[in-house]
Amino acid sequence: MRVPARAAARAAKLRAEIEGHNYRYHVLDEPLVTDAEYDALMRELQELEARHPELVMPDSPTQRVGAAPSEAFKEVSHAVPMLSLNNAFDEQEVEAFDRRVREALGAERVEYAVEPKFDGLAVSLIYEGGALKRGATRGDGYTGEDVTANLRTVRAIPLGLTSRRAPRLLEVRGEVLMLKSDFEHLNRAQREKGEKEFANPRNAAAGSLRQLDSAVTAGRRLTFFAYGIGAQDGAPRFRRHSELLDYLEEKRFPVARERAVASGLREVLEYYRRMAPKRPELPYEIDGVVYKVNDLAGQEELGFVSRAPRYAVAHKFPAEEATSVVAGIEVQVGRTGALTPVARLDPVSVGGVTVTNATLHNEDEIRRKDIRIGDTVVVRRAGDVIPEVVRVIASRRPGNARRFVMPARCPVCNAAVEKPEGEVVARCTAGLYCPAQRKQALLHFASRRAMDIEGLGEKLVDQLVDRKMVETPADLYRLDAGSLSALERMAEKSASNIVAAIEGSKRVMLARFIYALGIRNVGETTARDLARHFGDRLKAIMGADDQTLLEVPDVGPVVARSIAQFFHEPHNRKVIEQLLDAGIVFERAASQPGRSRVAGKTFVLTGTLPNLAREEAKRRIEAQGGRVTGSVSKKTGYVVLGADPGAKHDKARKLGIPVLDEAGLLELLND
């Protein structure tokens, strides 16, 4: 079934926007949108992908947890992924969640562990032999940041477990947050020192935990609440999640006193209604409540999708609202040339946070809501800086209110703006020649997951572009230490280091190079799939038409069109030719997926393997060109069984899918 062009375009826009917000929130600590607006974008994308499964891509934000960790801290891999939760915004969605759980477990009524949803920063605490050895942030769910020194300053976190026979390994998971009273104390101190105040307790907690100087963290009065256990070795065997929380409380970990056990949907919703009015009275901020299947065997049976467990859901409280006036609408130009209208609002406090602007997405959205300059609008937020414009209060519209018109020329470079038929996004046609796109394209090209040119940050790129020293990525390879050292705040040693980093980036995997080019709709996963499918041959990729590209796993019509159009553009081909002339060469992968029995096969891992961690098994399968998914279907090549495999084993047997144990998997990988 063909996907409507408007739906495909909207999905692509949402993916790019959500990933941008993920990066700013998780990596830069500079969020641009509220939780409400982020949730709305994610929700819209999820609904689009549900209606059009062809739009689902491995690199979609719906298939992941968060964003990459900051480079300011050492990376930490989580042995058991720290997944985020799916959200429910009304009782109907909670009813649907409960129905899915009951049907999957074959139960008339399910018991849930219920607890507040803390509005803080998720962390993992590793105890070995009873002693705290490591603490890390969630990061993207698979890789976080080592913030052990800072977490050791949080007095609510035990430095050792109270037991003579402590588990050999215990990973405690929870939320670091700042109490409301401590937040007020901190902002009072900031005012007295004439320094910038924090927007809300969550921002204060996140910024405090990620300080490079742990003495600063120690002075910020952070606290901690535990909500679960990850990896473990030698811990007691629990039957219920509520028992697990009781155990953590016995070990002197703070656990929410407001937690409870609810039997069935009615009691779950009663808990929500009890907690909502208590929200202002609690000593800490919460933005909803969490329901988890209490039976741990049931949790294992339900399993999880790529970014969230199926056995839990976060029931969010309604977002807070206020009114403001649209003082103006400006247009921002993104890395791909997309023109995004942004409402500039009269400053207004929403839930204790001053907000001044809101992304309006596109011209069609402005027309649909009939937003005009000068209008009084209802704005909504659920946790952070930028609100969602909910609706216009038409009765307050002034006589001089002005309609917004998307400019015909790019506000940055004055090039023509076009809006392709069937798409909702208008774009600047200047490509890499547009300074707005040029800067972002260069930053993307040099980013850690692309060409990994250390030191090439935003301020340096601004100078290079503004002084016309660099116009395309190929120009980076013509820079020398002498010209760089003449720039502001650039010493000779720093200049030499950057030139060395640029030189070192010349040897690169083809997948990273493709990702670095910034092709629309092509993320890291798609870039890897292209490199594998075409045997690391760039010319073959550049010469492929839409139909040939559709043969690549998980590449649909929209992605194929984006790739073909990109490489068809003479300007892009010229830049690539210049990059190759500059000395870029492609390193081959250690393994050759095309020769492996694993290549092209889909694997499902279920149960606990005796020696191989799930993430390690996944990494080794993917290294040989295989794919790992979370559910069994007719397209599954192998199901790998560990201890307590659950329902996936039964489904594999019904469908006649080959089943492997760990030894069989290793034999296949080593063949």
Cite the active site residues: 117
CA distance 614 to 636: 17
**CA–CA gap between residue 606 and residue 21 (Å, rounded):** 33
Query: Torsion angle, CA of 209/210/215/221, rounded to 10 degrees?
Result: -20
Residue with tokens 């992304």: 359
The first and second tokens of residue 217, run together, are: 């963290």
Structure tokens at 336: 């791909």
Q: In degrees, to the nearest 5, what angle opens at C-alpha 345 toward C-alphas 192 and 360?
A: 130
CA distance 369 to 389: 9
- CA–CA distance, 350 with 380 (Å, rounded to integer): 7
- Locate 338 and state its tokens: 């997309």
The secondary structure of 281-317 as a DSSP string is GSSS-EEEEEEEESBHHHHHHH-B-SSSBTTEEEEEP
Query: Cβ of 101: how many Cβ atoms within 10 Å?
Result: 21
Among 126, 119, 221, which residue's Cα sits nearest to residue 175?
A: 119
Q: Beta strands 427-428 and 507-509: pairing type?
A: unpaired
A 10 A CB-CB count for 516 gives: 23
Count the alpha carbons within 13 Å of 475 in the hemisphere toward its beta carbon: 17
**Rounded Cα distance, 88 and 313, in Å:** 7
What is the β-pairing status of strands 111-118 and 260-263?
Answer: antiparallel
In this structure, the chain runs to a length of: 671
**Per-residue CA distances from 240 to 28, 226, 260, 466, 525 (Å):** 38, 16, 12, 60, 37
Rounded distance between C-alpha atoms, residue 449 and residue 84, angstroms: 22
Note the Cα 445 to chain centre separation in Å: 20
Whole-angstrom Cα distance, residue 32 to residue 23? 10
Residue 14: count of CB within 10 angstroms of its CB: 23
How many Å apart are CA 488 and CA 8, to the nearest integer? Answer: 44
Helix and strand element counts for the chain (H, E): 24, 24
CA R_g for the chain: 26
Q: How far apart (Å, rounded) are the C-alpha atoms in residues 219 and 31?
A: 24
Contact 617, 604 (CB under 8 A): no
